[in-house]
Structure 1
């Protein structure tokens, strides 16, 4: 026999609500990757960039993506510092090593824009 007293029903409803709230909070919490990315971004804001404007650097392409300019750019890192490289040739892919010349920093100096120089 299932108890049907209002107290038991209310307790069961509260228990279900608590479980659902816990699941909802877990789903909305940032992932470990998102937390790590946020921490790296905050740390980057506290240090000087490891690259200089006008200098050329060699690095591996970690991804190809559409930049705010509307064109495809190669993304890579120098000492953990993100560089967005434009004017990349066709056929360039993830894992390729390139040389790029740094043109500018973003407002927070946490990344840089560069132009493709050559494949390494």
Structure 2
């Protein structure tokens, strides 16, 4: 005999609803934020970078993050183009304005690596 107590029925309904929710999320696909990020990345691949290697640019630091080198880097944008700046001084914080010299582009030319020059 199958138990039919209200507690067992309630748990069964909750499990079924959770399974339906998970299935619906998977079928729906990526979030609007993920789709927008992908569109921005594809658009960046199609345009020429607004920076040049060897030139110095001034921009605001949007965040500090760990770079693939293992060092902390400052992240900022020049005309919407992402610039990762290495060799940053201690005490640098998001919101600070810096000058950095562009050293190289990534493989897809959708971002650049730079070295810190000075606080602006």
TM-score normalised by L of structure 1: 0.79
Give the match's secondary structure for 2:35.
Answer: helix
CA distance in 2, matches of 1:62, 1:33: 18
CA distance in 1, matches of 2:109, 2:118: 24
Aligned-pair CA distance for 1:20? 3.4
Q: CA RMSD, aligned part only?
A: 2.0
Deviating above 6 A after TM superposition, structure 1's stretches of 4 or more consecutive aligned residues are none
Matched, 1:25 2:24: yes
CA distance in 1, matches of 2:33, 2:63: 17
Aligned-pair CA distance for 1:23? 3.9
CA distance in 2, matches of 1:32, 1:94: 26
* Unaligned residue ranges in structure 1 (runs of 5+): 1-12
- Counterparts of 1:4-83 in structure 2, within 5 Å, are 16=16, 20-26=19-25, 29-83=29-83
Aligned to 1:118: 118
CA distance in 2, matches of 1:66, 1:75: 10
Aligned-pair CA distance for 1:21? 3.6
CA distance in 2, matches of 1:62, 1:98: 11
- Counterparts of 1:79-90 in structure 2, within 5 Å, are 79-90=79-90
Aligned-pair CA distance for 1:34? 1.8
CA distance in 1, matches of 2:63, 2:35: 20
Aligned to 1:4: none
* Unaligned residue ranges in structure 2 (runs of 5+): 1-12
